Amino acid sequence: MLYADLKMKIAVIGVGSLGQHHARIYSQMQDVEFFAVCDSDEKQAKKIAKNVNTQYFSDYKELIGKVDATSIVVPTPLHYQVAKDFLEAGVHCLVEKPITDNVALAEELLKIANDKNLVLQIGHIERFNTAVIEARKYIKEPKFIEAQRLGPYNPRAAHIGVVMDLMIHDIDIILTLVNSKIVQMDVIGAKVLSQTEDIANVRLKFENGCVANISASRISIDKFRKIRLFQDDTYISLDYAGQNLKIYQKKSEVVTSMSDIKIIKPKLKTEEPLKKELEHFVNCVKNGKTPLVTGEHGRDALEVAIEIIKKL
What is the model's pLDDT at position 260? 86
CATH architecture of 8-124+274-293: 3-Layer(aba) Sandwich (3.40)
Q: Decide if 8-124+274-293 and 127-270+305-311 have a common fold.
A: no
pLDDT bracket for residue 289 (50, 70, 90): very high
For range 28-42, the mean pLDDT:
96
221-279 per-position pLDDT tens digit: 989 999 999 999 999 999 999 999 999 999 888 887 788 899 999 999 999 999 999 99
Residue 158 pLDDT greater than 80, yes or no: no
For range 203-211, the mean pLDDT:
98
What is the CATH class of 127-270+305-311? alpha beta
Residue 20 pLDDT greater than 80, yes or no: yes
134-145 per-position pLDDT tens digit: 999 999 999 999
| Domains of the chain by residue range | 8-124+274-293, 127-270+305-311
What is the model's pLDDT at position 271? 93
Percent of the chain with pLDDT over 90: 90
pTM of the model: 0.94
Query: Do 87 and 118 form a contact (C-beta atoms < 8 A)?
Result: yes
Residue 82 pLDDT greater than 80, yes or no: yes
For range 200-219, the mean pLDDT:
98
